[in-house]
A = this chain, B = another copy of it.
Amino acid sequence: MFEINQWIKIKAPATVANMVCGFDILGFAVNNPYDTMEMRRVERVDASIKIINIDNYNLPTDPEKNVAGAALIALIEAYEEQVQLGNPKATIQVNQLAFEVKINKLIMPGSGVGSSAASSAGAVVGANHLLGNLFTKDDLVRFAMNGEKVASGVKHADNIAPCIFGGVTLVRSIFPLEVIALPSPILHVTIVHPQIEVKTSDARSILKQNVQLKDAIKQWGNIAGLVAGLMKGDYDLIGRSLEDVIIEPIRSILIPGFDELKLACKAAGALGGGISGSGPSIFFLSKEQTTAIAVEQEMKKLYTRIGLPHHTYVTSINGAGVEIELN
């Protein structure tokens, strides 16, 4: 257990949800970008959570409206239950439990690479560390999903799960929650964030509630192929399986230049890729770093030509998830 007032530093990675064919079930963490946070347990004076933003995004600091805050509220409630159940590891009286969290958001909110998930996940992993790791990773995913609810109105885990577990994760079931870590070979990731706004709620509302059975069959063939490809380390199979016949044809309309970009990135040697989460960021996977860099050039070329401000990242899959370091 950590001493009161002792700060820890937290590094919370960006994540890519859906992984093309795995809508609402697959996701992976990347090494860059990431948020940094600092966190400590303090003497409780009034509120149990104090959020301090040290970036310029002016996100809400009211814990109930802040994604990290909402996630921590869920964790504190669960801690209280453990105290009441007499868990010998839960030794702090809840009326004495309070956290201070400084958030330095380096993952731009609304970019589609799990900015809200990084805050929620970072906060609960940090709090768990300060409380002597009382909770499992599955527990932490459940708490952090309350942050996603604040951010997008929906309790989804496809960014939270890879952010906490690292690597590639499968959310086999959301109620009850079941997260499965999938082994993967080294994969280089190129991300472009074209600076348009795509609200997650809009990206959800344009989806059709029904899909054709024949398309669903193609999709689950690809999902099975992708899982098998990752576990076998078969890059060609991964590439062939990275096709989405259900969500991408609808959502890609919201992203300028998407079809052209996809052709260019695949021509440059990418295995495949698509929309990161609900967008607007787009990601492509490559076997080699040199390919990932060539893919970045194609992304820059296209968005420079059509005059859309953009950021790019060349990175790789992050196997660790949220990391803690002592201050």
Contacts and interface: CB of A to CB of B under 8 A. Distances in A.
Contacts of A222: 172
A221 interface: yes
A172 B213 contact: no
A224 B241 CA distance: 13
27 contacts: A22-B224, A23-B217, A24-B217, A24-B221, A25-B220, A26-B224, A170-B224, A170-B225, A170-B228, A172-B221, A172-B224, A172-B225, A172-B237, A173-B240, A180-B225, A180-B237, A207-B213, A210-B210, A210-B211, A210-B213, A211-B211, A213-B246, A216-B219, A216-B246, A220-B220, A231-B231, A231-B232
Interface in A1-50: 22-26
Interface in A148-206: 170-173, 178, 180, 182
A227 interface: yes
A224 B178 CA distance: 12
A306 B256 CA distance: 62
A170 B222 CA distance: 10
Contact of A227 (B208, B219, B224, B240): B224
A21 to B, nearest CB: 8
Contact of A182 (B171, B178, B208, B228): B228
A136 interface: no
Given A25-B224, A172-B241, 11 more contacts: A170-B224, A171-B221, A172-B222, A172-B225, A172-B237, A178-B225, A209-B214, A210-B212, A211-B213, A219-B220, A231-B232
Stoichiometry, as copies per complex, reads 2
B170 A25 contact: no
Interface residues of A, number: 38
Contacts of A178: 225, 240
Contacts of A246: 213, 216
A223 interface: yes
Given A228-B180, A240-B172, A212 B212 contact: no
Nearest to A218: B173
Nearest 6 Cβ contacts at the A-B interface: A172-B225, A227-B227, A216-B216, A220-B220, A210-B210, A231-B231
Contact of A211 (B216, B224, B225, B241): B216
A27 to B, nearest CB: 12
Contacts of A223: 220, 223-224
A82 to B, nearest CB: 25
A268 B212 CA distance: 36
Contact of A25 (B210, B213, B214, B221): B221
Contact of A224 (B207, B213, B224, B240): B224
Nearest to A182: B228
Q: A172, A220, A240 — which one has the most chain B CB atoms within 10 A of its CB?
A: A220
Contacts of A231: 227-228, 231-232
Nearest to A181: B228
Q: A170, A207, A208, A214 — which one has the most chain B CB atoms within 10 A of its CB?
A: A170
A285 to B, nearest CB: 17
